[in-house]
Structure 1
Amino acid sequence: MFTIENALIATPDDYSSTKVLITDGRIAGISSQLDTVGTSINADNKLLLPGFVNAHTHSSEMWQRGIMSMFPLELWLAELYDFAPLDIEKVYLSALGTAVETLLSGGTTVVDHLVLIPGKELETIATAVRAYKEVGIRAFVAPLIQDESLAAGIPSGDTKQTHEPYFRSTQATLDIIEEAVKKFHCPEKGINIAVAPTGIQLCSDALFKGCAELSDKYDLCRHSHLLETKAQEKLAKEKYGCTAVEHLERIGYLDYRTSLAHCVHLTDKDIAILAHTKSTVVHNPLSNLRLGSGIAPILKYRQAGVNVSFGCDGASSNDSQDLLEAIKIGSIVHNVTDFDYQHWITPHQSVKMAALGGATGLNMADNNGSLDVGKKADLVLYDLTSLSLLPRTDPIGLLVLGRPVNVVDSAWVNGKQIVKSGNVTTIDVQDLRQELLKHSQWQKSRKSKTAAELEKHYRFVMGL
C-alpha cells in the first residue's frame, strides 16, 4: 500500500496535482483530499500516466539491429533467418533487453511475437517467460508460428513456383502452442500466452483455424502480421481471390481479442470489417518506413472506429525499442497523408492510443490503460525537470512531440515498483549490458544466401 503525492495528472481540460492511493496492486483513490496511507512517494514536478503497451515486437531481433540490409520485408526476412541466433542464452538476454528498453520508454506491457528455435520451441518460450518474470513487466508471449516455407511468402505472378514443405506439421505446431498455454499462461501473474500465426503469407487456413480454436478454448488473445507490404497484398489475391482481411473474417480469425500488426495496405471494405469485428490495428511506423512498406492509413482507421495501438516492432526492423519514439513518429507522420489538420493525431490522443488502445487490443481495458479507481496499478512517472522536458508547457505535448531522454522516473506493474529514480530495480542492467557485449561482436556487413536466391524472382514479380 502506498500513496503517490502531488502527481501531475491530465484532466479533460488541464492538469491537476493530486494524490493517488494504491492498494493490493490497484488504484484505490485519486484525489488531492486523500489521506496519505502507507509509503509516501513524492511526485513533485512529475507526470503520472498509465503504462503504455509495446503491442508488437520480436525480442530476439535485438541481436541483428543496426546491421540488416536495406531490403523490403520479403528479402529482409530471408537475411534475418539466415543469421538468426540459435542460442537459448541469447533468447534470455534479448528478452531482458526488450523489457528494460520498453520500461524506460514508458511501457509496462510488451507483446513479444517470439521467434522460436527449431527443436527447442518450448524451451525458447520458457526462457522468454523467465526473463519477463524477472524484470516484472506484463508480458504477452506470442510464439511466432508458420507452416509454409519462406519462399511461399512471395507472390508467384505469372510464373509457376514450387516450395519445400515446412519442416514441422501444422498439428505439431498447434500442439506446441497448446502445451505452452498449459505450462506458462498465467494472466494473474502477468504472463500471457497468445496465439500468433505470423501472417497469411506463410500460414495455411488450418493453422489460423487451429489458433482460433485454441483462443476460444483457453480465452487467449490472437495476434498476427497483416498486409505489411504490397507483395502480401498481391499474394492474398493469388491465394484467396479476395483481400486478406475478407479471408480472415471468413475463416473466423477476427474478433475483439485479435490484434494485427502493420495493416498498411487495406481497402475501405477491409477497414469496415476490422471495425465490425472489433479487431485492433497495431501501428509500427518505424519498421514500415525502414522496410519501405508504406504508411498505414491510421487516420482512416480512427475515423472508422477501429482501435489502434502502437508497437516498436523488432529491434532490427526498427533498430530500437524506444516506445516514445514510435509514438511520436506514428502520430506526426500522418500529417502528410491527410491535408485536413482536424484529423491529425494530438499528443493527448497519442497517449490514449498507447495506453488504453493497447489495453483494449489485449482484452484488458477493464483493468488497464487509464487512471481510474479500481484499475490495476500499471503506472509510469515522468520527471518533468529533465532538460528534454523543459521549459514548462504542456507535459504530454513535450513527452510526445519532443525527444525525451531518460525521463522515466518510476514505473509500477500490478502495484510493484520495478523502476525507481530512473533505474530498473529487479535486475542488474549494468550486468545485462556486459552480457550483451560479451555475446556479440562489432561487424559491418554479411551476405545472405537465401536473400540472394529469392531476389531475382522478387524483383520480377514486383516489377522492379
Structure 2
Amino acid sequence: MLVDLLVSNAYVYVDRGWEIPAGWVAIKDRRVHSVGKAGEEPSAARTVDAGGKLVTPGLINAHHHMYQNLTRAYAPVTNGSLFQWLTGLYPLWAGLTEDSVYASTYVAMVELLLGGCTTSMDHMYVHPKPRLIDAQIRAGRDLGFRFLATRGSMTRSVEDGGLPPASVVQSEDAILEDSVRLVEAYHDAAAGAMTRVALAPCSLFSVTERIMSESARLAEQYDLRLHTHLAEDHDEDVYSAEVYGCTPTEYLERVGWAGKRAWVAHYIYPSEAEIGRLAHAGVCAVQCPCSNMMIGGGSADAMHLRARGMQVGLGCDGSASTDHASMWLEARMAMLLGRYRNGPQSMSARDALDIATRGGAACLGWDDEIGHLRPGACADLVVWSMTDVALAGAHSDPVEAWLRCGPAVAGTTIVNGAVLVEDSRPVAAALGDVLREHAVHARRMQGLSA
C-alpha cells in the first residue's frame, strides 16, 4: 500500500510505554496509518528522513492567551504581582481590534509550531470589539493549525469591584448570545476536527455567578468543554471568601463545574481534600510553570495532582507573562520544577512528555485522537532538532536527552498530515507580512511611535 507520507529513520516515541528505537511513522488520509521497525517501511509518496532524531506526538498547549504577545515584556509591569500585572495591562488590551487579534493569533500559532506544538487552545476573554474569536479561528484555518477556541468572558469592571476597565467587559446576555453563535458557527465535534469551541469565563472574580452556571448549562446542551482560571493566587482566596463565603474550589462546585467537562488553569492553592474531590469528579488541571515562576505566585505540583488521580496538562499561559510560546520549554521547566520540589526521583523526561501530550489531550477532551501516535491517531507529530554539540555524549536515552540537553526546536512539525515546519522554518508564506502588521499593532497599543 502506498501511504501519503513516511517519517523514517527515527527514534519513535509512540505513546507512554511504547517506543521504537529504530522506527518509522506512516501517514495516510491525515491519520497515523502504521508504525514499525526499520526494514518494514511501506512505500510512500513522500519520505521525511528523520536522521536518527527523536519523533514524538505533537505537544498540546492546554492554556494560553495569544493576544498578549502584542504586549510582551512590557516594562511598567514586569515586576508586579498577578493583580498588579493585570491592572497595568488591561488598559492596553482595551485597544485590541479584529486585525490585531488575527495577527497575534497567527504569530502565536507559528511560534507554537516551532516549539513542537500541534494543538492549542486559546483563552480569549478580553472583548473590546466584537468577533475577535472569529479572527482567531480564521488565523488557525489559514495556517492549518488544530485549534480549540474558547469563548472567554468578563462582566465585572473596576466599577463593579473587578480589575479591568469597563471597555473590555460585556453584559451577561451579550456573552451568552455570542457563546451560542460561536458554537453553532464553528464547533466541529466530528472525528479529526481542526476547530472546536469551548466556554471559558475568565475567573470567579471577573464574571457573575449567572455566567458560570449558564456556561455549565450550555456545555451540557451542546456537549462542550469548560475552562477557567482557578486557585491561582492568594488574593483570589480572599476575594472568594469575602464575596462568596467559600473557597474557589467550593465555588466551582457550587456553580456546577465539578465534572468531566471542566479543566482549570493553575490550581496552585487547593486543599488536599479539594484536590481529591475534583480529581474524583474528573476535573483536569493545567500547570503553567514558566508563567508561574515569572510572576512568582507559586505553581501547581503536577506529579502530586496526578498521584491523586487528576489528569494534568501543560500550558504556555499569557504571552505577556511567559513572554514566549515554546511547549518544549514548558515541558523542560515542568520537569525541573518537579524535581526541585520533590527530589530527583519524582519526575522524569517521560513524565513531562506524557503531561505535555496525553495530559493536554485529556484537558481538551481530545484524548482518543491526539497526544499519541498509535495507528488511527490524528497525524500530528514532531521531528525534534538539536545541535550535535548539545547532544555530544548523549547516546543512551533520546527521550531524557530531549529535555536534559537542549535547547530543542521542531525540525519538522506535521499537523493533520501536512508539513507546517520544515528544516526548523515555518511553511507560512504570509508570515513576513503578518509580522510587519503585528509590529504596527503592538507599537500602537503600547503607545510607541511607528
Question: TM-score, structure 1 length as denominator?
Answer: 0.87
Task: State whether residues 5 and 27 of structure 2, in contact with CA within 8 Å, keep that contact through their aligned partners in structure 1.
Answer: yes
Match of 2:105 in 1: 95
- Root-mean-square deviation over aligned CA pairs: 2.5
Q: d(CA) in 2 for partners of 1:357 and 1:28?
A: 23
2:326 counterpart letter in structure 1 = D
Deviation at 1:295, TM superposition (A): 2.4
Q: d(CA) in 2 for partners of 1:389 and 1:177?
A: 48
Aligned residue among 314, 317, 324 for 1:320: 324
Q: d(CA) in 2 for partners of 1:14 and 1:227?
A: 37
Shift in CA distance, 336/19, structure 1 to aligned 2, threshold 3 Å: closer
Shift in CA distance, 174/45, structure 1 to aligned 2, threshold 3 Å: same
Aligned residue among 29, 32, 46 for 2:34: 29
Task: State whether residues 106 and 323 of structure 1, in contact with CA within 8 Å, keep that contact through their aligned partners in structure 2.
Answer: yes
Would you say 1:113 and 2:120 are equivalent positions? no
Deviation at 1:194, TM superposition (A): 0.9
Shift in CA distance, 248/149, structure 1 to aligned 2, threshold 3 Å: same
Aligned residue among 69, 73, 83 for 2:82: 73
Deviation at 1:202, TM superposition (A): 1.2
Q: Percent identity?
A: 28
Deviation at 1:266, TM superposition (A): 0.7
Deviation at 1:386, TM superposition (A): 5.0
Deviation at 1:303, TM superposition (A): 1.4
Q: d(CA) in 1 for partners of 2:13 and 2:168?
A: 51
Match of 1:375 in 2: 377
Shift in CA distance, 29/165, structure 1 to aligned 2, threshold 3 Å: closer
Deviation at 1:335, TM superposition (A): 2.6
Q: d(CA) in 2 for partners of 1:444 and 1:172?
A: 28
Would you say 1:257 and 2:265 are equivalent positions? no
Match of 1:397 in 2: 400
Deviations 1:167-218 (A, max 9, x none): 6321221111111111222355411111000011112221111111111111
Q: d(CA) in 2 for partners of 1:431 and 1:164?
A: 33
Shift in CA distance, 237/285, structure 1 to aligned 2, threshold 3 Å: same
Deviation at 1:429, TM superposition (A): 2.9
Shift in CA distance, 153/290, structure 1 to aligned 2, threshold 3 Å: farther
- SS of 2:156's partner is coil
Task: State whether residues 116 and 328 of structure 2, in contact with CA within 8 Å, keep that contact through their aligned partners in structure 1.
Answer: yes
Task: State whether residues 289 and 299 of structure 2, in contact with CA within 8 Å, keep that contact through their aligned partners in structure 1.
Answer: yes
Would you say 1:10 and 2:13 are equivalent positions? yes
Task: State whether residues 325 and 403 of structure 1, in contact with CA within 8 Å, keep that contact through their aligned partners in structure 2.
Answer: no
Match of 1:364 in 2: 366
Following superposition of structure 1 onto structure 2, how do residues 16-415 of structure 1 map, counting pairs within 5 Å?
Answer: 16-32=21-37, 33-68=40-75, 69=77, 70-84=79-93, 85-118=95-128, 120-122=129-131, 124-150=132-158, 168-187=170-189, 188-339=192-343, 341-342=344-345, 344-385=346-387, 387-393=389-395, 394-405=397-408, 407-415=409-417
Segments of 5+ residues of structure 2 without an aligned counterpart are: none
- SS of 1:41's partner is strand
1:198 counterpart letter in structure 2 = C
Shift in CA distance, 436/443, structure 1 to aligned 2, threshold 3 Å: closer
Task: State whether residues 152 and 202 of structure 1, in contact with CA within 8 Å, keep that contact through their aligned partners in structure 2.
Answer: no
Q: d(CA) in 2 for partners of 1:195 and 1:93?
A: 23
Question: TM-score, structure 2 length as denominator?
Answer: 0.90
Q: How many residues align?
A: 434
Q: d(CA) in 2 for partners of 1:445 and 1:67?
A: 11
Task: State whether residues 135 and 427 of structure 1, in contact with CA within 8 Å, keep that contact through their aligned partners in structure 2.
Answer: no
Q: d(CA) in 2 for partners of 1:274 and 1:96?
A: 34
Q: d(CA) in 1 for partners of 2:26 and 2:18?
A: 23
Deviations 1:254-274 (A, max 9, x none): 222211111111100110122
Q: d(CA) in 1 for partners of 2:162 and 2:338?
A: 28
Shift in CA distance, 444/149, structure 1 to aligned 2, threshold 3 Å: closer
- SS of 1:7's partner is strand
- Of 395-404 and 300-309, more deviation after overlay is shown by 395-404
Task: State whether residues 310 and 326 of structure 1, in contact with CA within 8 Å, keep that contact through their aligned partners in structure 2.
Answer: yes
Task: State whether residues 152 and 201 of structure 1, in contact with CA within 8 Å, keep that contact through their aligned partners in structure 2.
Answer: no
- SS of 1:388's partner is helix
Q: d(CA) in 1 for partners of 2:122 and 2:429?
A: 19
- SS of 1:196's partner is strand
